[in-house]
Amino acid sequence: MVDQSRPGILPAQAIAALHEAGGIVTRQPFDDDQVQPASLDLRLGRTAWRIRASFLPGGNLAVKERLDQLALHKLDLREGAVLETGCVYLVELFERLNLPADIAASANPKSSTGRLDVFTRVIADRARAFDAIPAGYEGPLYLEISPRTFPILVRAGSRLSQVRFRRGVSRLSDLELLNLQKDECLVDSDAPDVSGGGIAVGVDLAASTWNGLLGFRAKRHTGVIDVDRRAALDVEDFWEPIRARGQGSLVLDPDAFYILASREAVHVPPDFAAEMVPFDPLVGEFRVHYAGFFDPGFGDAAVGGLGARAVLEVRSREVPFILEHGQIVGRLIYERMSMRPNVLYGELGSNYQGQGLKLSKHFRPLV
């Protein structure tokens, strides 16, 4: 049964129990690896709509009522379809919710989705915010998809987003976070910056860390990326490697997309989950990390994660901006699990455990 008492993020076994109790309704049985240690992957349904613009339905409308006004045409995803860059699509998901009154949910792009610069947001009926599903919600879920750099091939069942379920208040206070840092070394910093319930993460632009490789800049006008194929593509067909030049800094080009890595190694203990959030939109003209969930066990030495870095998905805005080595680019928010997951990140053969500077799973290793 689902734990009815402890606040916190629901682990894999509680998500499975919630599904069995009718809180998560699916049109098809769960995939074998769909339930993650602290989240559930969401699957695209059979139809995508190309829409004129992003929208929120507001307090009194279902998504389909707005969709009738905004849809331009349909795409059948059963055999696969290409979603073009610069366009906005909406797909009803296979999963719908019938949540208990004390359980809410929040969504985020999967790591591989963010690393492809694919912008996704979950929308619920009567929603006033993206990616936020209120406690007791009953109804369908939709995914807004907007490829920013690469066209992507998707199909019914493709998994671009994930959802977490939580009961009550689970976020750690600054004092609790400082104590956990002392006990567990959440980030390998001698003087961690902790405020607002988050621990600061900086960018790694040191020439020595990755044998002189600082990161990758996405190319334009590339081929299509099949989101369901692993290790199928050559890196340099889609990415320009950025080499160090001894400056310890990087000028971000306006509207370009970069993959970089955190200066600090990150650790998420088994009884906690974490999420990367923007540091402060006022400190610079850039955005970091579309895909922000870190499961319990990420970077944990017991499951092969010693020294795991956070991969940073960075996009500059309207003006060029200089990033300096160690500059704070995000904060890790830690939350309690309602109970320890029966499986940890890394025990599933996860793609990014123990990672350094790493592109998405779709690319072969760079030689």
* CATH number of the domain enclosing 322: 2.70.40.10
Q: Which of 118, 139, 167 is at the close of a domain?
A: 167
134-146 tens-digit pLDDT: 999 999 999 999 9
Is 342 part of a structural domain of the chain?
no
Residue 362 resides in a domain: no
| Domain shared by 192 and 65, yes or no | no
Both 64 and 97 in one domain: the answer is yes
Per-residue pLDDT, 1: 42
Is 197 in the same domain as 63?
Answer: no
pLDDT score recorded for residue 165: 98
Do 212 and 319 sit in the same domain of this protein?
Answer: yes
Question: How far is 158 from 94, CA to CA, in rounded Å?
Answer: 10
Domain hosting 317: range is 174-336
Share of the chain above pLDDT 90, in %: 69
**27 and 146 assigned to the same domain:** yes
Q: How high is the pLDDT of residue 2?
A: 45
- Residue 165, token pair as written in the block: 């379920």
Strands 225-226 and 272-278: unpaired
Tokens, residue 216: 């990758």
Same domain, 38 and 148: yes
pLDDT of residue 279: 64
What is the DSSP code string of 334-355?
EEEBSS--SS-TTTT--SSTT-
Count the Cβ atoms, other than its own, within 10 Å of residue 134.
Answer: 14
For residues 107 and 132, what is the distance between their CA atoms, to the nearest angstrom? 7
Is the pLDDT at 114 greater than 60? The verdict is yes
Query: Which of 276, 291, 271, 278 is CA-nearest to residue 341?
Result: 271
**pLDDT at position 350 over 80:** no
Domains in the chain, number = 2
Mean pLDDT, all residues of the chain: 90
Q: Give residue-wise pLDDT tens across range 139-189.
A: 999 999 999 999 999 999 999 999 999 999 999 999 999 999 999 999 988
Answer yes or no: is 180 within a domain: yes
Quick: pLDDT tens for 41-77: 999 999 999 999 999 998 889 999 999 889 999 999 9
Residue 361 lies in a domain: no
pLDDT for the residue 305 = 55
Boundary-marking domain end, from 133, 151, 167 = 167
Let me know whether 148 and 246 are in one domain.
no
Residue 65 and residue 51: Cα distance in Å, rounded? Answer: 13
Same domain assignment for residues 153 and 252: no
Q: How many CB atoms lie within 10 A of CB 309?
A: 23
Give 3's pLDDT tier (boundaries 50, 70, 90): very low
pLDDT of residue 352: 63
- Is residue 207 domain-shared with residue 291, that is, in the same domain? yes
Taking the whole predicted model, whether its pTM rises above 0.85 is answered as yes
Do 327 and 181 contact (CB within 8 A), yes or no? no
Rounded to 10 degrees, what is the CA torsion of 56, 57, 62, 64? -60
- Top pLDDT among 3 and 34 is at 34
Q: Are residues 159 and 181 in the same domain?
A: no
- Which of 110, 144, 167 is a domain's end point? 167
Asked, for residue 101, whether it belongs to a domain, the answer is yes
- What is the DSSP secondary-structure string of 92-146? EEEEEEE--TTEEEEEEE-HHHHTTTEEEEEEETT-SSTTEE-TT-EEEEEEEEE
Q: Is 350 inside a domain boundary?
A: no
